[in-house]
Amino acid sequence: MRQHRLVAAVLAATATIAAGVLSAAPASAAKVKTFVVVTPPGLFAFDGLSGPTTQNVQVGLDEQSCLHAFTGGQSYTIAAKSDNSAVATVSPSVSGVLNCGDTAPFTITGVGNGGATIQFDAVSSPGLQSQVTNAHVSVTAQHFGTTPVPDPEGHARPAAPAVANGFLRANPAQADTCESFYGTKQWRGQLIHDVAKWAATNHLGKAKQTMSDDDWMTMVENKVIDLCS
């Protein structure tokens, strides 16, 4: 009952959000079949005094739902950028050529106090690129001896698809339930698309910033459970 009240309250709050606000899903969400995976995922905390000040990640398309075109005939790259380079940077800015099963290494480096979002986008031909949900990770940094830089709006909490993917990875039994419910090899991509569409329809990209971390994650996790039942 508490969760139902929370959902109702959030949906009511989003009624005032302008339709032009950036959403968690791309305009071509109906075609989404696969998604970018960052390993390890999550929130990285950097400390200029005690460390760490860098984080290495591997980035590529989900192996289970990777588009057949990327098995050899077509390829893609990963473009990386920081929305707050005064706080954290990422290198390289573009990966080498990738196919299904490949990942590319990136290094995230803390350089100043504050918060940042590191975005990872799959880049290929427009028709294939539109079928991919991209990914991002959040960064916080302190003790770098610089004045905190204001956080860009919307970066503080991961988008609904990222929360859903993390929930599935941490709960194999739920992943099995969803796979059985969707009944196709592309089940994970379809589920992530459905989560992204739900978040976009309800304008949750901005509304999530008014919620606590626990409430936001619980809301998305409950939606995953609902979609798979």
Least confident of 21-25, 156-160, 177-181: 21-25
Residue 1 is assigned to a structural domain of this protein: no
Report whether pLDDT(87) > 50: yes
Q: In the chain, which ranges are continuous DSSP H helix?
A: 2-13, 126-129, 160-170, 172-182, 187-201, 204-207, 213-227
The domain in which residue 110 lies consists of 22-227
Predicted confidence at residue 150, as pLDDT, reads 53
Residue-wise pLDDT for 90-147, tens only, equals 999 999 999 999 999 999 999 988 899 999 999 998 888 889 999 999 999 888 875 5
- Least confident segment among 93-97, 126-130, 164-168, 216-220: 164-168
CA–CA gap between residue 54 and residue 48 (Å, rounded): 10
Residue 179, pLDDT > 70, answer: yes
CA distance 123 to 177: 31
- For residue 120, give both structure tokens: 């990872």
**Which token pair is 213?**
């971390």
Q: Is residue 11 part of a domain?
A: no
When pLDDT is averaged across residues 186-202 and rounded to a whole number, the result is 83
Tokens of residue 72, six digits: 């050899």
| Predicted pLDDT of residue 146 | 54
Overall number of domains in the chain: 1
Q: Report if pTM > 0.75.
A: no
Q: Is residue 53 part of a domain?
A: yes
Residue 9 within a domain? no
At residue 16 the predicted structure's pLDDT band, cuts being 50, 70 and 90, is: very low
The answer as to whether 48 is a domain residue is: yes
- Rounded distance between C-alpha atoms, residue 76 and residue 128, angstroms: 9
Residue 88: name the closest of 64, 107, 61 by CA.
107
Q: With respect to residue 12, please indicate whether it lies within any of the assigned structural domains.
A: no
Q: For residue 141, tell me if it sits in a domain.
A: yes
Task: For residue 94, tell me if it sits in a domain.
Answer: yes
Per residue in 32-76, pLDDT (tens digit) is 789 999 999 878 999 888 889 999 999 999 999 999 899 878 899
Question: Residue 130's domain is classified under what CATH number?
Answer: 2.60.40.10
